[in-house]
Amino acid sequence: MSIDLSFIKPSLPRSGAVVVAVGKGGKLSTSGRDLDRRLKGALLKGAKAHRFQASFGKTMLFPAPAGIAADSVMLVGLDDVAKVDAEAVARIGAAIAQALDRHRVARATVFADLPAGVTVDAPEAAAQIAYGIRLQSYRFDRYHTRLKDEQKPVTSAVAVTADPVGAAEKRFAALDRIADGVFFTRDLVSEPANILTPVQLAAAARSLRPLGVEVDVLAPARLKALGMGALLGVAQGSANEPRVVTLRWRGRRTTRPDLALVGKGVTFDTGGISIKPSASMEDMKWDMGGAGVVLGTMKAIAGRKAKAHVVGVVGLVENMPSGTAQRPGDVVTTMNGQTIEVINTDAEGRLVLADALWYAQQKFKPKAVIDLATLTGAILVALGQERAGLFCNDDQLADRLGAAGDAVNEKIWRFPLDSEYDRHIESRIADMKNVGSGRFAGSIAGAKLLERFIDGIPWAHLDIAGVTWRTRGRPLVPPGGTAFGVRLLDRYVADNLE
Ligand code: BES
Ligand code: MN
Ligand code: ZN
């Protein structure tokens, strides 16, 4: 059950909680000051007495306040009001959602007029608060069949004040479509691999058709005819057939798409014959995270009717060991006729992407291409779970992606692609091998292989292995699948292509 979010004219509710923001030094908004007056100064007095510093996102609850009908009042801290931008307001929404849940509040009214000094305009602030509440409220509990009442989320309805209501509603409608895309990705990434096979992931892609997305699904016979030997080599060990899915959103009537998004969709990565150790192998159900982000982004931009022409291509396979699996040492031929010696069957993502990238460019002739992949464990060594790795052949594209990531707090960090790294993937018997030599620069070696499948257009590769799943949440991102990349790419499209 999702939270019922609505916008209302400012007025004190007769029940439930009332939430007001406060900046450092006790800075209240107009409605905050009114409320404090009705409570005979209890708000600021109580905050001071309990050393509430209005630190960012910290909350304080005043139960059963005398003088008003509401059940409780909650303060939420903004810290320095001058530093509060739209993204920060969404994070305030997230903090409110968490605190309401913690205090087991069922219904709340949030006063969204913020203290003087906040530069975010009023309808935007109201919409961002609701958006933050929405993003934070995500849960994947499809497989809990007997949750006790106290284990279920309590908050069922939040009203956010806005004047006029219509402007906030309009702005929120677009943000809520982005949240739909984020939730779609989180659901896909959370699904176990026995449920979400390549065929089922293709079916999930088809579910975007009612939004106006053109979806095509390519089955193995077609992939063979196209010569996708690298992708098929990964798939050949699995009883679950591979698929390649293309998606197209024509928000602008141009012949060439502005952008192609390409995603690694390994629905489960055992490593193949180069099998992984069993510790944490269950994490490899989210090795389709790149494909999940492509589908979620398509859902977001189609949902809000973005004025851009964007295509998506996802390569969907399962990497299993079996009597039919490919062996270390096998040589495969890609769609563009290059040969790859498969030294390690666990470096399968780049094999899938080699063919998916080439197909995306040949089929659609996009002006630029961005791929997303949970490609290397080495990116975790370099960046941890805080930033994704960026590899890019074009400074403008790199800068614009960096800016989009900063704006939505999905941060990325650029790595080099110097030609000196090419020797890492030289093979004795083929055009290249699928791993570097030794343990050094593992993420760059992966990116360098992908680079060989780029046909002279601006290209960016996002290695999202470190950011796709989190056991501990962060603001706007509950524990589990993060959908890192959806908000970034949606923002990139909005700022640069529309
Ligand atoms: N899917 C993994 C990368 C990965 C690791 C994703 C940890 C998420 C968390 C990828 O297919 C892989 O196995 N990469 C190998 C490459 C190596 C064999 C060159 C790796 O990182 O060990
Ligand atoms: Mn692997
Ligand atoms: Zn993998």
The Å distance, Cα 408 to ligand 1 centre, comes to: 27
Burial 58-97 (b: 16+ CB within 10 A, else e): bbbbbeebeebebbbbbbbbbbebeebebbbbbbbbbbbb
Task: Map out the domains of the chain with their CATH numbers.
Answer: 4-163 (3.40.220.10), 178-496 (3.40.630.10)
For residue 438, what pLDDT is reported?
Answer: 87
Q: How would you write the chain as a 3-class SS string?
A: CCCEEEEECCCCCCCCEEEEEEECCCEECHHHHHHHHHCCCHHHHHHHHCCCCCCCCCEEEEECCCCCCCCEEEEEEEECHHHCCHHHHHHHHHHHHHHHHHCCCCEEEECCCCCCCCCCCHHHHHHHHHHHHHHHCCCCCCCCCCCCHHHCCCCCEEEEECCCHHHHHHHHHHHHHHHHHHHHHHHHHHCCCCCCCHHHHHHHHHCCHHHCCEEEEECHHHHHHHCCHHHHHHHCCCCCCCEEEEEEEECCCCCCCCEEEEEEEEEEECCCCCCCCCCCHHHHHHCCHHHHHHHHHHHHHHHCCCCCEEEEEEEEEEECCCCCCCCCCEEEECCCCCEEEECCCCCCHHHHHHHHHHHHHHHHCCCCEEEEECCCCHHHHHHCCCCEEEEECCHHHHHHHHHHHHHCCCCEEEECCCHHHHHHHCCCCCCEECCCCCCCCHHHHHHHHHHCCCCCCCEEEEECCCCCEECCCECCECCEECCCCHHHHHHHHHHHCC
pLDDT less than 50: residues of the chain? none
Q: How far is the CA of 346 from the centre of ligand 3 (A)?
A: 7
Q: State the ligand closest to the CA atom of 449.
A: 1
Strand partners, 61: 74
Cα-to-centroid distance, 158 and ligand 1 (Å)? 42
Residue 388, ligand 1, Cβ within 6 A = no
Q: Write the residue with the smallest CA distance to atom 8 of ligand 1.
A: 465
Which atom of ligand 1 is nearest the CA belonging to 435?
19
Alpha-carbon distance of 44 to 52, in angstroms, equals 9
Please say whether the beta carbons of 265 and 341 come within 8 A: no
Among 107, 104, 111, smallest CA distance to 15 is for 107
Which atom of ligand 1 is found nearest the CA of 374? 6
Mutate to test the pocket of ligand 1, among 372, 376, 463 (most ligand atoms within 8 A of CB): 376
CA 278-279-280 angle, to 5 degrees, is 105
User: Which residue type occupies 458?
Assistant: P
| Model pTM score | 0.98
Tens of pLDDT, residue by residue over 57-74, are 999 999 999 999 999 999
Q: What is the number of the ligand 1 atom nearest to the C-alpha of 286?
A: 8
For residue 95, how far is its CA from the centre of ligand 1 (angstroms)?
A: 34
Query: Rounded distance, CA 210 to CA 298, Å?
Result: 12
270 lines ligand 1 (CB under 6 A): no
Separation of CA 447 and ligand 2 centre (Å): 14
349 ligand 1 Cβ < 6 A: yes
pLDDT in tens, 436-484: 988 899 999 999 999 999 999 999 999 999 999 999 999 999 999 999 9
pLDDT recorded at residue 255: 96
Question: Which atom of ligand 1 lies at the shortest distance from residue 287's CA?
Answer: 1
User: What's the gap in Å between 168 CA and the centre of ligand 1?
Assistant: 43
Nearest CA owner, ligand 1 atom 13: 346
Tokens matching residue 284: 């490899």
Instruction: Work out which ligand 1 atom sits closest to the CA atom of 344.
Output: 18
Ligand closest to 317 (CA) is 3
Q: How far apart are CA 101 and CA 152, in angstroms?
A: 10
Catalytic machinery residues: 276, 350
For ligand 1, mutation pick of 346, 351, 353, 468 (most atoms within 8 Å of CB): 346
The reply to whether ligand 1 has any atom less than 6 angstroms from the CB of 463 is no
Q: Which amino acid is at 240?
A: N
Residue at 267: amino acid letter: T
Q: Is the CB of 347 under 6 A from ligand 1?
A: yes
State if residue 442 touches ligand 1 by the CB under 6 angstroms criterion: yes
376 CB near ligand 1 (under 6 Å): yes
Q: CA–CA separation, 17 vs 48, rounded Å?
A: 21
d(CA 293, CA 262): 9
CA of 465, nearest ligand number:
1
Region class of 403: left (phi > 0), else alpha (psi between -120 and 50), else beta? alpha
Residue having the nearest C-alpha atom to atom 22 of ligand 1: 377
What's the 446 CA to ligand 1 centre distance in angstroms?
10
Q: What is the distance in A from the centroid of ligand 1 to the CA of 330?
A: 19
Which residue has the least CA distance to atom 5 on ligand 1?
Answer: 377
CA angle 425, 429, 431 (to 5 degrees): 50
Phi, then psi, of 84 in degrees rounded to 5: -85, 110
Q: Which residue has the tokens 């960016």?
A: 460
The whole-number pLDDT of residue 437 equals 86
Angle at 70 between CA 68 and CA 73, to 5 degrees: 95
- The pLDDT tens digits of the residues spanning 320-359 come to 999 999 999 999 999 999 999 999 999 999 999 999 999 9
Is residue 490 in contact with ligand 1, taking CB distance under 6 Å? no
Q: Is the CB of 389 under 6 A from ligand 1?
A: no
